[in-house]
Amino acid sequence: ALGRPILQFVVGDHSPDRPGCRPCQIVTRSGEERPVEASIARLADGRGDGLIIVCRDIGPTVALSAQLTYRAEHDALTGLPNRNQLLTRLGAAVIDASGARHPVAVGFLDIDGMKRVNDTLGHAAGDELLVAVARRLASSVRAGDTVARLGGDEFVVVLGRIDGPARAEAVMRALMQTLSAPYQVASQPVTVGVSASNAWIWVTRHTQWV
C-alpha cells in the first residue's frame, strides 16, 4: 500500500467534509472486500491538509447481526420463514399482485398424525419428520413463492402471480400428494395425512377477498 492512494484500499465515502465514523470496505491484498468501520479526521501538519483514516474490523459484528436477523425471520427447526417473515412476504406479494393484475393465493396445510409419530417414535423423530415435510414443500413450489411454518404442524403456502383458482387448486392437490408419500423417519417408514384449509385468499387488482 505504500505510495499508493488510500482509496484503492478503503472503499466508501471519505470526504474530509464529513468526518466521523462510518462503515466501509477494506480491499485486501487478494482483492477480497471486508467490512470495517472507518474513523476519519483531518490532519493539518503545516505541510498541507490530509486525512487520518483508522479502520476497525467489524466483520464479526456484521456476521452476528445477519445471524440474529435470520433467526428473527426464520423457524428454528425447519429454516422456513416464520410468521413475521410470512407477513412481510405476503404484503410484498399483495403489492405485486395489484400492480401486475395477477391474483395471489394463500393456502394452509396441516400435517395429520404428528402426535402418533411423537408418541411411538419420540419427539426427535417428529422433528425429523417436520424438517422432511418442509423440504418437500419448499422444493415443490416456484422460486418466487413462499412456504412458511406457523408452528407445530401448520404450514402456509403463498403463490404469487397465479393463473386463477383452477391453477391454485391444482398446485394444492399436487402439494398434498407430495406430502402424503411415505417418509423415512428414525430408520422406519412413516406415512402422514395432509389437511388443507378451505379458505384460499385471492387478492386481485382491486383487493377483493373471497
Please give the chain's pLDDT, 210 residues, in tens: 677 777 677 776 655 555 566 778 888 888 888 888 878 777 766 665 677 778 888 889 889 999 999 999 999 999 999 999 999 998 888 888 776 667 788 889 999 989 999 999 999 999 999 999 999 999 999 998 999 999 899 999 998 888 777 888 888 889 999 999 999 999 999 999 998 875 455 555 444 444
Q: In what order do the strands lie in the sheet with 33-44?
A: 10-11, 20-27, 33-44, 49-57
Q: What is the pLDDT of residue 205?
A: 47
Q: What is the pLDDT of residue 207?
A: 46
Give the C-alpha distances (Å, rounded to integers) separating 93 from 86, 105, 135, 169.
Answer: 10, 9, 22, 18
Q: What is the pLDDT of residue 209?
A: 40
Task: Tell me how far the alpha carbon of residue 96 is from its chain's centroid.
Answer: 18
Three state DSSP letters for 146-187: EEEEEECCEEEEEECCCCHHHHHHHHHHHHHHHHHCCEEECC
H/E run at residue 129: helix 123-139
Q: What is the pLDDT of residue 175?
A: 92
Please tell me the distance from the alpha carbon of residue 81 to that of residue 155, in angstroms, as a whole number. 10
Q: What is the pLDDT of residue 95?
A: 82
Which amino acids are annotated catalytic? 153
H/E run at residue 131: helix 123-139
